[in-house]
């Protein structure tokens, strides 16, 4: 159980275009989903936290108008990279926290999406 | 505020020898602690987690970790390294002040020499 999927697994786009990445919790309801970015040889950096039905909370330094997050249902969150530039090329990973009482904040991670902007 | 330190950015061991990946944390409250593994160009896989139960936690693939409050440590060990263990390992901390967030350590890259 507790499987999280991401689509697409990799995407290549031209500079200036927008890219949408989907994150789905397949077998549980996720009240909260998280989006991370990981540059090569680095750790995961939290970009934003999204709660179903409300606006996402962005970490300091993350442009909310560039990285649009929508969490319209308890099983789906999307990240749209608008007007992508080569410096946005990265590995984007989502995670989901299961609905219900949480005693230890375990997050279940998706497999990641490799974005390359030409 | 929470923080995680992984003392070694890179560890190299010979196949069949023990593995020790070090992690120290800072947390104001009783923390939850996790170890994740990430193989190249792959997502994260949970190895094990500590959630205020037994201090010695056994995980998958022969890994285990011991929570030591007095030392604020949660080191990851394995008695005998396998070639397939070569990967990036992340220590992660969370506590009830974090409002659902977890904090990732910088990671330790494990190499296994045949």
**What SS3 state is found at A87?**
helix
Interface residues of chain A, partner chain B, Cβ below 8 Å: 6, 32, 34, 42-46, 49, 91, 93, 97, 102-107, 109-112, 114
Structure tokens at B17: 């020898």
* Residue A107 pLDDT level (bands cut at 50, 70, 90): confident
Question: Cβ A109–B106 below 8 Å, yes or no?
Answer: no
pLDDT in tens, B80-112: 999 999 999 999 998 766 657 888 999 999 999
B84: left (phi over 0), alpha (psi -120 to 50) or beta: alpha
Reading the block at residue A33, the tokens are: 């989903």
Question: Distances in Å between the alpha carbon of A25 and those of A47, B4, B44, B65, B69?
Answer: 19, 27, 15, 28, 34
> Could you tell me the CA-to-CA distances from B92 to A24, A71, B4, B48, B73 in Å, in that order?
22, 25, 7, 11, 12
The shortest CB-CB distance from A112 to any of B32, B43, B105 is to: B43
Return the closest-CA partner of residue A58 out of A43, A74, A46: A46
């Amino acid at each position: 159980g507790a499987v999280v999927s991401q689509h697409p697994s990799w995407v290549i786009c031209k500079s200036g275009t927008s890219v949408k990445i989907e994150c789905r919790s397949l077998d549980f309801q996720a009240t909260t989903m998280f989006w991370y970015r990981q540059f090569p040889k680095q750790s995961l950096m939290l970009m934003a936290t999204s709660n179903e039905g409300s606006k996402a909370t962005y970490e300091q330094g993350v442009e909310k108008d560039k990285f649009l997050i929508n969490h319209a249902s308890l099983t789906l969150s999307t990240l749209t990279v608008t007007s992508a530039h080569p410096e946005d090329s990265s590995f984007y990973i989502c995670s989901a926290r299961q609905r219900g009482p949480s005693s230890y904040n375990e997050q279940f991670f998706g497999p990641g999406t490799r974005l390359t902007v030409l | 505020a929470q923080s995680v330190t992984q003392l070694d950015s890179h560890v190299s061991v010979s196949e069949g020898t023990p593995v020790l990946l070090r992690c120290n944390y800072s947390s104001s409250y009783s923390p939850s602690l996790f170890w994740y593994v990430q193989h190249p160009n792959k997502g994260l896989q949970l190895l094990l987690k500590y959630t205020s139960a037994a201090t010695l936690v056994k995980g998958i693939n022969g890994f285990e970790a011991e929570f030591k409050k007095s030392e604020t440590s949660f080191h990851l060990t394995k008695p005998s390294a396998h070639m397939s263990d070569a990967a990036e390992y992340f220590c992660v901390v969370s506590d009830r002040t974090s409002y659902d967030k977890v904090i990732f350590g910088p990671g330790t890259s494990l190499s296994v020499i045949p």
